Amino acid sequence: MSTGPSPEDLRALAPRVLGALARRHGQFDACEDAVQEALLAAATQWPAEGVPANSYGWLLTVATRRLTDQWRSESARRDREAAVAAEAERLAPAVDERPADADDTLTLLFLCCHPALTPSSQIALTLRAVGGLTTAEIARAFLVPEATMAQRISRAKQRIKASGARFEPPPPAERDRRLAAVLHALYLVFNEGYTASGGAELHRAELTAEALRLTRDLHRLLPGDGEVTGLLALMLLTDARRAARTAPGGALVPLAEQDRGRWDRAAIDEGLALIADALTWSPPGPYQLQAAIAAVHAEAPDAAATDWPQILALYRLLAHLAPNPMVTLNQAVAAAMVHGPQAGLDLLRPLEEDERTAGHHRLAAVRAHLLERAGDHAAARAAYREAARRTTSLPERRYLEAKASEGTR
């Protein structure tokens, strides 16, 4: 009898068990419920009774039993006991069967990030079906009641069912678009965790580790995809700054003022190696370029040594490849560092008229920052105040209010 499994071990088994069941049976929503119940059973039984020698087999057996129980109770109503018993025999996979691990996990990711779902549903379902998290854990991370999250997940599964999607890889013509949706969902999970500030936000911060784990899995399955590699590198290089991004007490520390000695060197080295390698063989994509930008920051021993011309060139390429007002915003900061604040302010002008960004606090914050650098302190303070009023983040508001009152006292 060993001690209980770590939650990570248990979670890692989730997509393999679900894959085996869904491949056999195809009824993704019912299989997903059954696996979730098996995981919950393991979480309560294993610590008390010991981890079974074949934990994968144990989960598969329990999940299959739950599935057949469910079938049986449904069919009792329809008085089809015999047919179901036969079906149960058919759908029970042999426990010693080698799982088609890789393909299953990938198919699950594609299914969970189905275009019929909203991003928040994609995320919730991915975390449960592929990540092996419980509904309660996901609900805690997203600060909603468990019943709400349960409903969101069940609705997502209904939608997938209604869309007619099956447990199989997307058609080749759709594959790139579907993979982009998977990467985007993983990126959102990462961000959700990374921007959390610890303390009461601890459950949410764990999402970063989950996103990294799932992206690592994906990278293992698709080592030849430059964007998957790019996303993994971006997450590593960003997460490396975690310890330095908040001061004791939770105040946000801007990149330029972070204590780089507190950056995680191991994560940086891994991220740098991944992105440097990917850029030699893959056509550049948005995640690779963002990782390359993070790499330039990571390589600078201090803020003053940052290679801004390089960063500006990368943002130009990114703006060309994937035009987006948020990219322009960052490009303006880089342009200001290379060509002076006015160059940055000029780039902001079209954003003031773009309805996607006109009222956005980040635009006001960047304008404030550039005005400050230009020496126009009164206008900078006004822009910081505007940004503080527009943000819906408490730590950002605190930072922006402090900047707005700088030099006034």
Partner 1 sequence: MKYMLLIYNRPGFLEELTEDERTALFGEVDAIMRELTESGELVGGQALADPAQTRTVRLRDGLPAVTDGPFLESREVFAGYIAVDCETPERAAEIAARWPDVRFGGAMEVRPIMDDAGTEM
Q: State the nearest-atom distance from the C-beta of 337 to partner 1, in Å.
A: 14
C-alpha distance from residue 333 to each of 242, 296, 298, 326, 384 (Å): 22, 15, 17, 11, 15
Q: State the nearest-atom distance from the C-beta of 406 to partner 1, in Å.
A: 14
Q: State the nearest-atom distance from the C-beta of 304 to partner 1, in Å.
A: 18
Q: Position 385: which residue type?
A: R
Residue 50 or 359: the one with the smaller Cβ distance to partner 1 is 359
Bridge partners, residue 94, by sequence: none
Residue 217 or 372: the one with the smaller Cβ distance to partner 1 is 372
Query: DSSP string spanning 152-189?
Result: HHHHHHHHHHHTT--SSPPPHHHHHHHHHHHHHHHHHH
Residue 228 or 400: the one with the smaller Cβ distance to partner 1 is 400
- d(Cα 52, Cα 2) in Å, to the nearest integer? 9
Q: How many CB atoms lie within 10 A of CB 6?
A: 9
Residue 136 or 147: the one with the smaller Cβ distance to partner 1 is 147
Residue 87 or 206: the one with the smaller Cβ distance to partner 1 is 206
- d(Cα 380, Cα 360) in Å, to the nearest integer? 16
Q: State the nearest-atom distance from the C-beta of 260 to partner 1, in Å.
A: 14
Query: DSSP string spanning 336-374?
Result: HHHH-HHHHHHHHHHHHH-TTTTT-HHHHHHHHHHHHHT
Q: State the nearest-atom distance from the C-beta of 151 to partner 1, in Å.
A: 4
- H-run or E-run covering 304: none
Residue 279 or 294: the one with the smaller Cβ distance to partner 1 is 294
Q: How many CB atoms lie within 10 A of CB 374?
A: 16
Find all residues with CB under 8 Å of 350, minimum gap 6, and list them. Answer: 328
Q: State the nearest-atom distance from the C-beta of 114 to partner 1, in Å.
A: 16
Q: State the nearest-atom distance from the C-beta of 161 to partner 1, in Å.
A: 16
Q: State the nearest-atom distance from the C-beta of 336 to partner 1, in Å.
A: 13
Residue 97 or 354: the one with the smaller Cβ distance to partner 1 is 354
List, in sequence order, the alpha helices (H) in 26-54. 28-49
- d(Cα 2, Cα 248) in Å, to the nearest integer? 39
3 state SS of 97? coil
Q: State the nearest-atom distance from the C-beta of 385 to partner 1, in Å.
A: 15
Residue 145 or 340: the one with the smaller Cβ distance to partner 1 is 145
C-alpha distance from residue 49 to each of 5, 44, 52, 66, 213 (Å): 11, 9, 8, 20, 28
Residues in the site for partner 1, rule: CB under 8 A? 118-121, 142-145, 147-153, 155, 192, 195-197, 200-201, 204, 245-246, 252-255, 258, 362, 365-366, 369, 391-397, 399-400
| Alpha-carbon radius of gyration of the chain | 24
Residue 362 or 373: the one with the smaller Cβ distance to partner 1 is 362
